[in-house]
A and B are shown apart, each in its own frame.
Chain A
Amino acid sequence: DTAVSQTPKYLVTQMGNDKSIKCEQNLGHDTMYWYKQDSKKFLKIMFSYNNKELIINETVPNRFSPKSPDKAHLNLHINSLELGDSAVYFCASSNGRTDTQYFGPGTRLTVL
């Protein structure tokens, strides 16, 4: 059973398009995160939701909008995709804000 799952695993799209990445966790956690791993391999936090409330919102272009329909899901919508958005995006979840974070397998986004 997959604990944190992401779809799709790979996403190739053209500049200017709008795309979404979905994340679901079946761990019963109340906190979820989105991280971006860039070409230099740094993992950087983008957003975090706790009980559907946004608690972390890093300096991310407002083309990126997270949506948490319920505690088990945190989706990431990206408008007007740019070349620099190409990266691997990881979703994670934890039980509370300070507990261990469990990561999904990642979504590799390639913008052409």
Chain B
Amino acid sequence: DQQVKQNSPSLSVQEGRISILNCDYTNSMFDYFLWYKKYPAEGPTFLISISSIKDKNEDGRFTVFLNKSAKHLSLHIVPSQPGDSAVYFCAARSASNTGKLIFGQGTTLQVKP
């Protein structure tokens, strides 16, 4: 029962271009969404988040868009840099107040110089 899905296992973009990573979810009880970035042999690091009451959140080069009706969110990175090459995980949290995060399986982003 995969409640959070990242259907693209990998993405390759040229440096300076836009990277768009997608995530779909099935549970309408999710009220908060996060993106984590993970380098090899390290733990995931928090990147950006969005509450379900918003449709966009921006932080520097990173913007997350939420489309609740489509149960879809995306992460835009503009401009992409080689240091952005990593695995990106989408995560969702329900309103149950336990803090439980449901993760997607990740998308490996490669930014080519």
Contacts and interface: CB of A to CB of B under 8 A. Distances in A.
A98 B99 contact: yes
A94 B100 CA distance: 11
B52 to A, nearest CB: 13
Contacts of B36: 103
Interface in B45-80: 45-46, 49
Interface residues of A, number: 27
B43 A98 contact: no
A31 B98 CA distance: 10
Interface in A86-109: 90, 92, 94, 96-106
B46 A102 contact: yes
Which range contains the number of B residues in contact with the other chain? 20 to 34
Contacts of B103: 42-44
B44 A33 contact: no
Nearest to B93: A98
Interface in A59-112: 90, 92, 94, 96-106
A98 B103 CA distance: 15
Interface class of chain A by DSSP? strand
B46 A100 contact: yes
B89 interface: yes
Interface string B73-109: 0000000000000010101010001111111011000
A100 B34 contact: yes
Nearest to B36: A103
A105 B43 CA distance: 4
Contacts of B46: 100-102
A4 B53 CA distance: 31
A33 B43 CA distance: 13
B43 A97 contact: no
